[in-house]
Structure formats: structure tokens, C-alpha cells
Amino acid sequence: MFFDGDIGVGQSGLGYPVSGHPQELLVMMDRYRIEKALVYDRGAVESGLFDRFSLVLDFCAGSDRLYPTISLAPPATREMPPPDELIDIILAKGMKAVRVWPNYHAFDFDVFNFSAMLETLAEHRVPLFYHSNAAQDHPWAHRLAWRNIREVAQAFPQLPIIVIWTGMQENRHTLPVLEQCPNVISDLTCVSFQYIEFVVEHFGSKQLCFASHHPIHDAGIYTSWINYSGITDEDRDAIAFGNLQRLVEDIR
């Protein structure tokens, strides 16, 4: 079974085959044994809309296997409710994670820009997904702002940070962060020869998770790497499902 951390739904102006209805998405999920998914509004991300929650909430209301997530802008831009109000909405509406897209939305994700929001998220242990890619960006053509990620992780050690689109050329940046920041989790876009086995051996399986990146990528790319990795069944289950399940359950 898999728990998917990254599925976009609704509409896409970039031509991605986005699921417009919950049942359509569930067919794809069943094909790959994806039991649960953290879902975001693809159209809102592409359009830079930070105050549209209704589409993803309505979509996820169609199945208890789907959990809504929203994307953040820096609080100073006033594109969203202030942090204390936003956290009330997140908890009341059953949202299970938030997301930032610094390259896509042209801001720096750091303590300076997000301190008030990060403090609130850390208090309630709401997982934060850091999407490092930009619009129609090749997933290995960009560079991540690892210094910012590291500084946020160290300033807010209770905040789970899941880095998305880590990229195959980033491992010399990724591994030191995983070693020194136990609250940072990596997706599997960085997987190359025995990467999963290496991370599990040296840092443990709690710092990896499954994310299909649907509709940009096919989920089979990432289910295969987990299914055929040379790790124990217990570690395989943690990466495929348990780690994200634990983060969702830890929200206060």
C-alpha cells in the first residue's frame, strides 16, 4: 500500500492530465495500490491563487482516501488570511499539509519571510511540502535553496518538512541535510543507484516518503523504486505508507 504525498487535481492550463473528479483519481490510485493521497488544487498553483480552498475541499469530500492541502504565500503579501486565522481554517477543514513553491511563485522560503507562519505550523505539527521545481521545469534541471531549507528546519525542529523534486544531481546537498535535520524528509526524485538503500542504512527509513507527482509523472516510476529496493519489508512499508500516515496523525 502507498500513501501519496503529491497529487494535483482540478484543472491545468499547462496541459497536464489532471483528474477533475474524485472517482477518476481513485481509478489511477487503485492501479498502483495507492490507498491515500495528499491532494492540492493544480489550477490554483498554476494561477498563483492563495485564497481558493473550495475546489480542493470539495474534491476531497468525495472520498475519505483523499486529504486536502493548500499552498502558502509569504504572510506579508496579505494574499492569505493571517497565520493565526489560517491555522484555524487548516485544522477546522481537515487539511493535512501545506505547500510552498518558491521557484514557481517567486519568493524566498526562509525564516525572514515566513517566521510567523512557520511558528504556528510547528506548534501544530502541520507538515510542510517544499516544492523546488518551477513551471514546466525539468525535475533535475534546477537547484534547490538548501541553505534556506536547512535554516528553517533547524529553527523549527518540530516542523516536518518534505522536500519535493529533490533531483538526481542534488544528493551531495540532500544527504548532509538529512543527517543533521531529522525533521526533513526527501521524496524519491533523487533516486539513483541504491539511494534508498544508502539512506535507510545511514539515516533510517523515516526520512524518505512516496510522492507520485501526478499528473506530471506516472506513479509507477516511484512505486517501482520502493517495491524493488533492497531493504526490509518494515522499511519499505514506512517509506511507502507509514511515514506520511504518522505525520498526518501527529497534527495537533
Q: What residues contact 71, with CB distance under 8 A and at least 6 apart?
A: 40, 41, 44, 45, 50, 98, 99, 100, 101, 105
Residue 166, pLDDT score = 84
Residue 86, pLDDT score = 98
Q: Which residue's entry shows cell 483523499?
A: 66
d(CA 94, CA 79): 21
Q: Which residues of the chain are modeled with pLDDT < 50?
A: none
Reduce the DSSP state of residue 245 to 3 states and report it: helix
Q: How many domains does the chain have?
A: 1
CB atoms within 10 A of CB 57: 17
- E-strand stretches of the chain: 2-9, 34-41, 66-71, 97-100, 128-131, 161-164, 184-186
Is 145:108 a contact under the CB 8 Å cutoff? yes
Q: What cell was used for 246?
A: 504518522
Q: What angle in degrees, to the nearest 10, is found between the helix axes of 146-155 and 111-124?
A: 40
**pLDDT digits over 9-49, tens only?**
999 988 889 999 999 999 999 999 999 999 999 999 999 99
Which residue segment(s) compose the domain that 218 sits in?
2-249
- Which of 209, 162, 205 shows the shortest CA–CA distance to 4? 209
Residue 133, pLDDT score = 78
Query: Can you give the CATH number for the domain in which 26 is found?
Result: 3.20.20.140
One-letter amino acid for residue 206 of the chain: K
